[in-house]
Structure 1
Amino acid sequence: MTCGARTRAGTPCKLAAIYRNGRCKLHGGLSTGPTSAKGKARSAANGWAQKRANPMRTTGKLSSADHVS
Structure 2
Amino acid sequence: MDKVEELKPEVEEISCDEVENRDDIGEGSTSVSQNEHDEIIATEKVLNAMLFYRRYGITRIQMSITSYQ
TM-score grouping bracket, smaller chain normalisation: 0.3 to 0.5
> Could you say which structure has the higher helix fraction?
2
> Normalization by structure 1: what TM-score?
0.32
Which one has a bigger Cα radius of gyration? 2
